[in-house]
Chain A
């Protein structure tokens, strides 16, 4: 029989480090049945034993939840049938024992059966503090273990001591007044004093405070922009070769299938429908993985909470807060993990506004589209394109800020708005754990976004292949998708584009980057992938409407760029939004509003250009 244990602890207590040591790589994300909540569950690393699983809960300062993250922990402790009787492992940061005792008292009051694991033993040593854990255990009546997160020392003793029975005592929900906190503080102070022996204490915060005097000064903004620029630039430097490799790999497989079975519909379906759809999902994996690695590095070093604190005031002026910073930053890779990261925002209002603007951030799927359109505007000027590219990032932030400002005028401030960001010690990042977590998050992206993108990509491909004419694919204009494009042409025309571009825009609802390959199909580019872009550009330069006026002008292309910047075309994002916000109405409203604004903006840009420059 397998036994389940739940890890509970305050943020920065070292809980997730312990979880990673306990489970090795045997963990997965589990959905809480019937709700939007998910948590991580893992089986014990086989080198430590069998038949035990662990649940990692989001960090919580108290058993009285105040943020969506803390509500998840509450549900795991009280509501979920699989975990609401499980023995808990309360992870406590030894350096801040006195503060963390509050949670010990709350757990006891709630009749939760638990053991304590004290982490940061290395820091206690550095600080020259000795704690008599046996005495602590005796005094509070709970088993206490010591664990070193750097070396995993103490893990075997903990595992051996975990009880194999569950407590049937019903758990009580608690509510505390100020007096309870005051009493807990006095009790904690007395308790810690009884069991602690301090020598000549070293200030372990010395280095941290010295570094903060630079990183959190006015100069801190220069460091901030420097670090962020480096993060984004390195995404492209590091991921480009991997993305190219993936693309080349899939392209090779496609060609092999088609060569092996020429004139077979099934083979074409496999190569152009299925394989190409998988490629559309996987080509962004390197970028997403590198973003998570970069974020993991910044988080593990202790910088991320400081960046959030630094940017809190400017973000407040836009109707947001510092806690929105990380989700917005993640939005530059992909809106899906970014929306999940909004759980750390306590304020309902900030969470609402942040979730609304995240899809406007220039995610990686937009990059190939910008690449093509900018090449049209600035042919043979790589330097300028690079600059405009960077500019588009900042422009998307600017549009996000405008949207946030407008929304903040309509949404009343909620009562749950607070920032209060704990600043952990700067520490050497734990590369092993960073890699593991980045891989796990990337896997979660693939399994979440993949099926939806593949479904729509295959559907669109089939739309272009039917109805069959003499068992062959029809001319695009005759295909279902072509017919749809023509029916909708009056809608696209004010944007300055014809039905062929319209088909590209519709196909972008599978995944934005599909726009480029669809354009290659609708404009009948026959070159191989390497020369596709060049040929497509040439054709774009010559493409004309029936009356002879050019389709692609500066106006229509600028309009298209604006459209792609604002429009919400990603169905995975909509699905994630429904799950995360718990409101289908919000997700659909967002879809309609963003696409409408994108469309109207594109039309205005194109018409203004025609009016003033043609």
Chain B
């Protein structure tokens, strides 16, 4: 009964989303006040119906209703409750529901928080969001219905991939999806602006908080995913340039560009057409990224052919969304008037440079990700593009971004000179050079340069704030007064910039990581990865739905108590799958990381790592997101919207 209710609610949400797509946009076109006023109600109605549907799906998972095909294939009665709940969106069908639910939440948020928007603009934005929802809900109903029944019902389900039974991964998809889908709002604003034929500073001010909120969530989502790969896969790396990872990085890159170009629209009314195009590109990349990956086309062309209906639907949907919006852009963009004039060397100029470089990075990442697919389809050459390609192309393009992102914020708008700007942050440059030189005594040239660059970004962010409050140049009291008067967004930007520096420092440290594969007998002591390790014993242990083999090891450190670690291998009973559980001890400045491999003749194969600075990689992501969150709290972003209290996208399913 409950699954049927969910199915009905899903169909209802689909019908409502069509109404939400058609009525408000038609109303805004015809200037029909009644239809314009119907938009928020329709958005909330769709959200409510979809919420019921999603709840029914979670319910079916929690009560182990194995007569539902989706539950039978992906769940098991032995699975812990947390993973029964999170497992409902850990598969294809469920993830589409989660996606649509977050999209509906965006619509609801625009309806709820956008009361100060002009009625017609709000109606159009909600209409565009409704049209996207309609596409997904139709896709879900027609090709991936999560409520399909199975008869006779099996006694138990097939269980979820054990790799996914992990708290990190339980929260990674909703976070990432919220980031992806959040970019639907700037996209809807862009389409609405094209329909209206008007982009102005206030448009920039409305778009920015939505972009910022999605960007924060996407940043957190990517960092969580990378952290999960680090500790759960047990390979010791944090980023593998895998198509799935690249699919999340691409919207982040263009989203970051959008965030910065929206500032120019808001402050200077320049770059309007470009910003509209970026908003379209970012959402298109979110869409195509997830769906190309979800459909399996990027990993294997054949998986795509397994279910032609899904593949064709996805391609059709992508074609309509991307092609349609670009067509609209081509027709309407010339009508948007060009904005303010600025010199190449100016704050605007620095932001243009940021946009050009970020888009270039996105372009090489797309090239590297898609090339194997094209080469297989067109040239019939099987090849893969791995980390060396991305390192060789992304790093040289990222270096100027790092160099410029510190100088940009201290340059004035409209017209600036490079030398005075540099002189204002001379001490950041001095710190960077010193850090680089100190690192050079202990590390090779490239990591040392990266450490210098990281110091440049962190010190530069501090220099920006110090410069704004004229510290040491005005009496301390005046500086304090300036500090209090500084907009929160200024702190947010500085913190986010520093966060990137923290991440870069982490990556530089990880490039110095040492690892060694060893064969150890119980009771033996060995030297590996610069540390002394002792394997005390190998024992067996039983968990809720797995049996595991645990290595009890100690790291012997001079002058400190021994460090006990317990890496293990888990054999999951329901799925005949083994996972390696790495043991990680972090000091904040380095990770000691041990992985247990197979056993031969009583000895264990182990891979032992020493990863300097590793935690900083994800810490930096968190700092960036916090910076973004602080900017969201800025009153200036809420001008005319005193009612808004919280981050509009904070909730996820």
Chain A bound to chain B: no
Chain A residues proximal to chain B, CB less than 8 Å: none
Chain B residues proximal to chain A, CB less than 8 Å: none
